[in-house]
Chain A
Amino acid sequence: MQPITQLIAKHDLIVAFLFVGIVMYVSFWFSKRILRGKIPGAAIAITAGLVIAYFGGKKGIADFPLFAGMAVLGGSMMRDFSIVSTAMGASMSEIRKTGWFGIISLVLGISTSFFIGGLIGYFMGYHELKSIATIGAGACTFIVGPVTGNAIGASSDVIAISIAIGVIKSVMVTILTPIIAKRIGLDNPQTAMIYGGLIGTTSGVAAGLAATDPKLVPYGALTATFYTGLACLLCPSVLYFILNLLVGV
């Protein structure tokens, strides 16, 4: 056993290629043969990834040394690099068409998540201004929550909850997007850009669109990648200030 584990640990990224390849193959086979194409193979593969992550810990399956390479392959550098590459083949005229609505949907998406999230947090028993804001920020993405919480000095358990909210959002978006895509008219570049701006969580948007229609990925990802940065900017400043006025304590 020892030589094999050593071999795997030494070549962790290559092992990750092999492992993901197997997961993809099994998922696409399952989608085609068992589900007769009703749920796309990519959606199954991504959901399978989430299920696999459950067996791990903080870093999902990458917590096991055998699968450490998954953290490289699925890390932010590779993710961002491959997201940028999808822009090849996207059309500038489609992006221009949506332009302003992309920006409007970003601001609308961030404030909706922040205030609705905060409001529910309030009803769930979090009455302190800092906690409400952190929970609202968590409803944006799992990065915005802790960034906002740290900026305004929220307690660590509230920050942990805000991360959990963000992860739940990301998981939900991944699984729900291909299922409700038709109902919300998500079948063209324009709507994909608005969707990316309103939903924001890059991993969820990217995964959800990949499972719905890979052609839409660049459009949704383009707006979604501005979301986290903009939300980290707005939540602890302007939105926190407005919340302060609204709650009025």
Chain B
Amino acid sequence: MKIYGVAVLAACFIAGQLIGDLLGMIFRFEGNIGGVGFGMLLLILLGDYMKKKNWTDHESESGIYFWSGMYIPVVVAMSSIQNVKAALSGGWAALIVGVVATGCCFLLIPLVSKFSKSTENK
């Protein structure tokens, strides 16, 4: 049943959030550290494990794929609720800092990626 897949996804999500909250508490930072990331790792590991054990079926997997298909619409909804006016009203300082700092990070991508590939070949 589709709900089995959704339930597994929900379990990974909640467990991930829990780990993130715990990490936040350990580092005395009010909030969640990487909860979503841990949830993703759990889903990947659990998915692999269940495939090996032959516990999965197409029908329950489709419950998870439904949500990953909803991902872009959710992002569209998310961008429509951003405070775009504030971003534009921050003035020149905000605009210049935002653009230049982001640009620098973009420039680093090919550098780090090249470096990671060259070490992998060695």
> Does A221 sit within 8 A of B, measured CB to CB?
yes
Q: Contact check, A79 vs B116: say whether CB atoms are below 8 A apart.
A: no
Interface stretch of the complex, out of A3-11, A31-39, A113-121, A239-247: A113-121
Secondary structure at the A interface, as helix, strand, loop or mixed, is: helix
Query: Which residues of A171-218 have CB atoms within 8 Å of chain B's CB atoms?
Result: 171-174, 176, 180, 184-186, 190-191, 194-195, 198-200, 202-203, 206-207, 210, 214, 217-218
Secondary structure at the B interface, as helix, strand, loop or mixed, is: helix
Question: Which chain A residues border B44 with CB–CB below 8 Å?
Answer: 87-88, 90-92, 95
Interface size of A in residues (CB-CB distance below 8 Å): 107
> Does B54 sit within 8 A of A, measured CB to CB?
no
Q: Closest CB of chain B to A74's CB: distance in Å?
A: 3
Question: Which chain B residues border A199 with CB–CB below 8 Å?
Answer: 102, 105-106, 109
**Which residue in B40, B83, B87, B109 is a CB contact (below 8 Å) of A186?**
B109
**Which residue in A186, A210, A232 is a CB contact (below 8 Å) of B29?**
A232
A-facing mask of B37-57, CB < 8 A → 1, else 0? 101110111011000000000
A-facing mask of B57-84, CB < 8 A → 1, else 0? 0000100110110111111111111111
Q: Contact check, A81 vs B13: say whether CB atoms are below 8 A apart.
A: yes
Q: Contact check, B108 vs A138: say whether CB atoms are below 8 A apart.
A: no
Q: Contact check, A117 vs B77: say whether CB atoms are below 8 A apart.
A: no
Q: Contact check, B104 vs A92: say whether CB atoms are below 8 A apart.
A: no
Q: Closest CB of chain B to A89's CB: distance in Å?
A: 8
> Does A66 sit within 8 A of B, measured CB to CB?
no
Question: Which chain A residues border B105 with CB–CB below 8 Å?
Answer: 109, 112-113, 198-200
* Nearest-neighbor residue (CB-CB) of A81 within chain B: B13
- Give the CA-CA distance A200 to B109 in the complex, in Å: 12
Q: Contact check, A225 vs B83: say whether CB atoms are below 8 A apart.
A: no
Given known contacts A79-B78, A90-B44, A168 and B37 CB-to-CB distance under 8 angstroms: no
A-facing mask of B79-94, CB < 8 A → 1, else 0? 1111111111111111
A interface vs B, CB < 8 Å?
16, 20-21, 23-24, 42, 45-50, 52-54, 56-62, 67, 70-71, 73-75, 78-92, 95, 97-98, 101, 104-105, 108-109, 112-113, 116-117, 120-121, 124-126, 135, 138-139, 147, 160-161, 163-174, 176, 180, 184-186, 190-191, 194-195, 198-200, 202-203, 206-207, 210, 214, 217-218, 221-223, 225-226, 229-230, 232-233
B interface vs A, CB < 8 Å?
9-10, 12-13, 16-17, 20, 23-24, 27, 29, 31-37, 39-41, 43-45, 47-48, 61, 64-65, 67-68, 70-102, 104-106, 108-110, 112-113, 115-117, 120
Nearest 7 pairs of A and B residues by beta carbon: A164-B90, A74-B77, A168-B98, A229-B33, A49-B79, A74-B78, A167-B87
